[in-house]
Amino acid sequence: MSFASHPFWQAGFRPFFALACLSGAVLPAAWIAIYTGIVTPLWVTFSIVQWHAHEMFFGFGWAVLGGFLLTASKNWVSIRGYHGTALILLGTAWLIERLGMACANLLPVWLFRLSNNLFLLAIIAMLLWTLLRYRKQDSFRDNYFFVLLLPLFVVAKALLLESDLYHLGVVMTLGLFRLAFLVMLERTLTQFMQNALKASILRNPRLDMVIKGLALLLVFAAFLPTTLAASLNVLLALLLLWRFAFWKPLLAMRRLEIGIMYLAYLGIVAQLLIAALDSQVQVPWTGTLGVHVFSFGVMGLVIPAMITRIANGHTGRPVRFEFPDKLVLWIMICALALRVIGTQLWPASYLTWLELSAACWCISFAILAVRFLPFLLRPRIDGKAG
């Protein structure tokens, strides 16, 4: 067996979910070590907060989003999808970016920019090629939202690493991830409720389209007049709550693996309302509450459940949440409470809450790594490709 034909390189979720689990287990610990001064970073070209935000969204976040989209897009258009050498090169580019971010001050500017953009430009080009070339056989008509949002990540990334434009970059990056999660939740929750609970949830195509359209517009919230952006944030939050009421939330909460997705949906609502409030009133939050409501309350809740489902289902195994998988979800709920609630109610212990929530995050993804790396390294048990 050649290296490129190893099972690990036969579907996009395999290498990138592995990287997501490993980076999820390491990056929060690295951040705490840097934040507390235990470790002195090798870069001076951007702040430690910029590094933290970049690695959370474009390191960890894009390992997950990239793995998901590489896998899902091939299924949407019914093709074999990228595998073998293409994924080896893409995974290598992701690793080069991490190394470049860690050693930015040691690199010439041109080499840093090359290392910093190689992965994102490559994976976006690959995904757009799939979605555009095979658009006539695409099973989801609203995939044009991905066609629109993917190139914008390049702009958001550049803004985030410019000190004077950092705020614009964070708002734009968060908005892009928010739109991606809304599209994914809209599709998957219908399926999960039907499969697990034999329940149909009401879908209104017009309402769904308005929600996605507003979410796309709010990607540019930082460039809009403050009052308009706040109004749109509130409007989107209210529309999401209206739809939520018809999606049988009480029934969903009977199953942890589905209920946690509903909590993440509410996390999006909370982040929108916090963003609206912050733009109109000086609220004495401790830390950047809105960003961490999204990172812990949306990404932190959805991603472990997503990895569990895909790592099982796409390796030919039944999708079941065993005790370790449910433990991970509970630990991430604890991480959310520590990072979002603890820091606001007891700000004097802010550093303690940071350390505890980071520990929860690291433990969760370490468990996921131990649990699913063997699945990702082995062939599908049903003998199918991928």
Written as one letter, the residue type at 74 is K
Under the banding of pLDDT at 50, 70 and 90, the label for residue 202 is confident
pLDDT digits (tens, 9 = 90+) for 347-364: 999 999 999 999 999 999
More confident residue, 132 or 284: 132
Under the banding of pLDDT at 50, 70 and 90, the label for residue 216 is very high
Looking at the domain assignment, is residue 72 inside a domain?
Answer: yes
pLDDT at 1: 73
When mean pLDDT is compared across 38-42, 206-210, 312-316, the lowest value belongs to 38-42
Looking at the domain assignment, is residue 363 inside a domain?
Answer: yes
Written as one letter, the residue type at 99 is L
By C-alpha distance, which of 127, 143, 4, 115 is closest to 59?
A: 115
**Tokens 């980071």 found at:** 358
Residues with Cβ within 8 Å of residue 244, at least 6 apart in sequence: 262, 265, 266, 269
Under the banding of pLDDT at 50, 70 and 90, the label for residue 79 is very high
Q: What's 328's domain CATH number?
A: 1.20.210.10
- DSSP per position, 143-155: GHHHHHHHHHHHH
Looking at the domain assignment, is residue 384 inside a domain?
Answer: no
More confident residue, 199 or 24: 24
Q: How many residues does the chain have?
A: 386
Looking at the domain assignment, is residue 385 inside a domain?
Answer: no
Looking at the domain assignment, is residue 386 inside a domain?
Answer: no
Cβ(358)–Cβ(32) under 8 Å? yes
What domain count does the chain have?
Answer: 1
pLDDT digits (tens, 9 = 90+) for 225-242: 999 999 999 999 999 999
Looking at the domain assignment, is residue 295 inside a domain?
Answer: yes
Cβ(221)–Cβ(232) under 8 Å? yes
Looking at the domain assignment, is residue 185 inside a domain?
Answer: yes
pLDDT at 147: 97
Under the banding of pLDDT at 50, 70 and 90, the label for residue 42 is confident
pLDDT at 105: 87
- DSSP per position, 329-371: HHHHHHHHIIIIIIHHH-GGGHHHHHHHHHHHHHHHHHHHHHH
Cα 198 from Cα 218, distance rounded (Å): 34
What percentage of the chain exceeds 70 in pLDDT? 99
Given a cut of 90, whether residue 336 has pLDDT beyond it is yes
Looking at the domain assignment, is residue 382 inside a domain?
Answer: no
Domain that holds residue 304: 3-377
